[in-house]
Structure 1
Amino acid sequence: MGLTSKKVLLLAIVVAVVLFVGTVWLWPRLSRRNWRAVSGRVGLLLVTQVTLFACVGLAANRSFGFYASWADLFGQETGQGVVVDHNAHGPDGGPLQVLDTRKVSKTGGGRPEIGGQIQKIAVTGTTTHIATPAYVYLPPEYFQAQYRTRTFPAAVVLTGYPGTAEALVDKLHYPRTARDLAKQGRMQPMILVMMRPTVAPPRDTECVDVPGGPQTETFFAKDLPEAVSGHYRVNRAPGSWGVIGDSTGGYCALKFALHHPSVYAAAVGLSAYYKAPVDPTTGDLFHDDKQLRNRADLMWFLKHTPAPDTSLLVTSSKVGENNYKSTLKFIDAVKANGRTRVSSIILDSGGHNFNTWRREIPESLSWLSGRLTAG
């Protein structure tokens, strides 16, 4: 049974209830003061507490999508295998291969020209040789006859760290939200490429081109757009790509737009931070390269480099987010920069969690859509 399955959570709850009842039932028998009785009380309390914490952890993981599997939880997910799709273009399937398809929602819209479609893909960077899975949302218009010659804008959607790409579909509801907003006329139809920034698991590269390591920034700035544009009807003109992410993904999104404005015309950082941390999950990202370290600090970048022609949206909340003050400073830095444009969503309250981001995603997608061009 998988880490995120309902059966595992229910089993943990049942075990916790049984242990609680057993503790209450056996407590009188263990009330003596000999070492066996004391050991029994300690053991029952310890096992019951551990089981209760396991229930809470499993429930939180199902809600927020921290880890996708047991291997992911214990840092053993290192495989980067790619399944060959024999219907794909080219003799070897090319850098992007479609692995599976599914509809956007369980009820209604079974036909892609009505409800859109989600495709699970595998991408291999032709420059970086990074291989990673992703999900692609194709809007209903993509399959409709009157749009058969149209090209669409695209947006990369990123999780936090460690995150799961599935959470972008099932928990944050990006495809369903994009479809509904387009139907309401609040955004144009867009292709969404949904994935996590952790392309070299379990390492958190903070979307940095690590010297002698994963070239993550190059993958997102060059390989991914090229692979997606080569497979789908994405507009290839400047101003056609955007990027949005939460937490670590938000930091990466802002960095991509600032560093590569010719690729990403707009970026949204949901609960983002503005400087790459260095900790046990990242390892040595910069190898004493001061210039690389400075470029990864977005405040430094804004103050010491020419203003890039791109648009940014940042979000925070006055109560519940620890990035509120740094977000205000970032906004001031962008405004002082001149050419770069900045907008914000500031909630009165909201924590660093899915519930807060679900409140911000509709307006963020509408904002992003308004800054991208279709063909």
Structure 2
Amino acid sequence: MMVSILSPELCTAVLIAAFALPLAFAIWRAVHSAGSWWRKVLSGVGHYLVIVVAQALLIVGVFLGMNREYGFFASWSDLFVEADPAAPIHDLVPIRRTKVKDIPISKDNPHPNGYLTGLTMPGTDPQYGHVPVWLPPQYFEKSAQGTRFPVLYYIGGLNDTGDHANVSMDLITPAQDLVTSRKINPFAIVFLPGRIRRGIDSECLDVGPVRHESWIMKTVLPRIESRYRVGHERGSRFIGGWSSGGYCSVNLATKYPKSFNAGIGIGGYYHPTFEGQILASVSQPLIDANSVMRRVHDNRIDRSVRFLSVLNRSDVQSWGPEKGTVISNGQIGPDAGQFYRLANGRKQFPFIVLNGGGHRGAVYMPYVQQCLEWLGQFGL
């Protein structure tokens, strides 16, 4: 039976070997330092090979540790054999097709493929302050100068800046295709970072000195809506996210039902799970107050909330273990599997559930287009 790629024992064994191999070789050389010239040559070659092998083992060990922590690859076949999934050829959730706003693209349109611009926001560390904004080609048509376009606020993973969010999960390409084929209305995308302070995992909440939630709701939304012709009312505002941004989006969608019309979460979870130094400012009441799991369990969800989750049974970073729970830093770990069992069947919370692959954008990317189409039935 093959050892799991996520096995902690395998990771430990490889790291021990990375250090034990050169140590053993050094001892061997000390014992056999004398000898003929050819023995010295072989010793030199062996010395070189030991360094190479030890470095390779160290790299593999670090990779295994990182993969166990973040779950990028769920199995050996996921890493070496199986290709990333293809886009589905049919609807995986019910989608009601609606009539979209027809704004023809003229020959003199300066941005026929849309335009990526953005604003620099106050209240963050410098690397997180730039918020990219993608505007559809229809935004630049003279016939639409008085039109406000629907807007999707998209929150990247924990290590995503706003600029990097569209790299780890490409939304612009499927958005262009859907708008061009008139399957959904022309809409804008605002790319938000997964954190606003360097090294601090604030989970899009106001925790300790970090006012992440207030930054989104009281700084980003008003400034975007005053600078661009995008939706400033619930009916034309949408929210979504990937990984930790998936948690952020479902938390904000259920916490502010009058602010967002619908939302999507990709590879997310359903209660905050903090990391690092911010833990000193975290209290159990804060976690409980921002647990979507608890809101659903207690039936404290506004009837207008609509949220689509894309999950993966093999993604331990999101789904969690099949049996039991993971406790880390005194907190319960990933809970998407538990949330699926709790909320599956409720019309407010449809699901797309995958089987295979780890916590990587490439595994989830084929389902982004269907997520956008699902939002389209509500006005995106």
**Structure 2 match to 1:269:** 265
Deviation at 1:52, TM superposition (A): 8.4
**Structure 1 match to 2:182:** 185
CA offset digits 1:178-200 (Å, max 9, x no partner): 11111112221111011222111
Tell me the distance in 1 between the aligned counterparts of 2:172 and 2:216.
21
Tell me the distance in 1 between the aligned counterparts of 2:109 and 2:49.
54
1:135 aligns with 2:138: no
Deviation at 1:53, TM superposition (A): 6.5
CA contact (8 A) 1:154 1:234 kept: yes
Q: Secondary structure at the match of 1:207?
A: coil
Q: Which has the higher contact order (CA 8 A, sep 6+)?
A: 2
- Counterpart of 1:33, as a letter, is H
Tell me which of 130, 142, 146 is aligned to 1:145: 142
Deviation at 1:111, TM superposition (A): 6.2
CA offset digits 1:136-189 (Å, max 9, x no partner): 100001011221111011111121111243343334321122111111122211
**Structure 2 match to 1:169:** 166
CA offset digits 1:260-302 (Å, max 9, x no partner): 111122121111111212332643342x3x4322112221122
Q: Secondary structure at the match of 1:341?
A: coil
1:364 aligns with 2:371: yes
Tell me the distance in 2 between the aligned counterparts of 1:130 and 1:31.
51
**Structure 1 match to 2:121:** 123
- Counterpart of 2:311, as a letter, is S
Tell me which of 290, 294, 300 is aligned to 1:300: 294
Tell me which of 232, 242, 261 is aligned to 1:236: 232
Deviation at 1:311, TM superposition (A): 0.9
Q: 1:205 to 1:42 in 2, by over 3 A?
A: farther
Tell me the distance in 2 between the aligned counterparts of 1:166 and 1:334.
33
Tell me the distance in 1 between the aligned counterparts of 2:271 and 2:160.
19
CA offset digits 1:109-133 (Å, max 9, x no partner): 996431110014211259xx99721
CA contact (8 A) 2:202 2:278 kept: yes
- Counterpart of 2:51, as a letter, is L
**Structure 2 match to 1:352:** 359
Q: 1:169 to 1:32 in 2, by over 3 A?
A: same
Aligned length: 291
**Structure 1 match to 2:18:** none
- Counterpart of 2:339, as a letter, is F
CA offset digits 1:40-77 (Å, max 9, x no partner): 845653356537876997xx99xx9x9xxxxxxxxxxx
1:253 aligns with 2:249: yes
**Structure 2 match to 1:21:** none
Q: Secondary structure at the match of 1:193?
A: strand
Tell me which of 289, 296, 309 is aligned to 1:314: 309
**Structure 1 match to 2:336:** 327
Q: 1:144 to 1:53 in 2, by over 3 A?
A: farther
Q: 1:112 to 1:302 in 2, by over 3 A?
A: farther
Tell me which of 131, 155, 158 is aligned to 1:158: 155
- Counterpart of 1:187, as a letter, is I
CA contact (8 A) 1:221 1:260 kept: no
**Structure 1 match to 2:217:** 221
User: Equivalent pairs: percent with the same residue?
Assistant: 21
**Over aligned residue pairs, what C-alpha RMSD do you find?**
3.8
Tell me the distance in 2 between the aligned counterparts of 1:344 and 1:210.
30
- Counterpart of 2:241, as a letter, is G
Q: 1:271 to 1:149 in 2, by over 3 A?
A: same
CA offset digits 1:229-276 (Å, max 9, x no partner): 010001222222111111101000100101111112212111111121
Deviation at 1:201, TM superposition (A): 1.4
- Counterpart of 2:350, as a letter, is S
TM-score between both structures, scaled by the size of structure 2: 0.66
- Counterpart of 1:356, as a letter, is V
Residue ranges of structure 1 left out of the alignment (5+ in a row): 1-29, 67-108
CA contact (8 A) 2:239 2:249 kept: yes
CA contact (8 A) 2:313 2:337 kept: no
* Higher gyration radius (CA): 2
Deviation at 1:206, TM superposition (A): 1.0
**Structure 2 match to 1:209:** 206
Residue ranges of structure 2 left out of the alignment (5+ in a row): 1-28, 35-39, 73-106, 323-334
CA contact (8 A) 1:154 1:242 kept: yes
- Counterpart of 1:296, as a letter, is N
Q: Secondary structure at the match of 2:50?
A: helix
TM-score between both structures, scaled by the size of structure 1: 0.67
- Counterpart of 2:314, as a letter, is V
CA offset digits 1:190-226 (Å, max 9, x no partner): 1101122211112111111113x11111111222111
Tell me the distance in 2 between the aligned counterparts of 1:207 and 1:171.
19
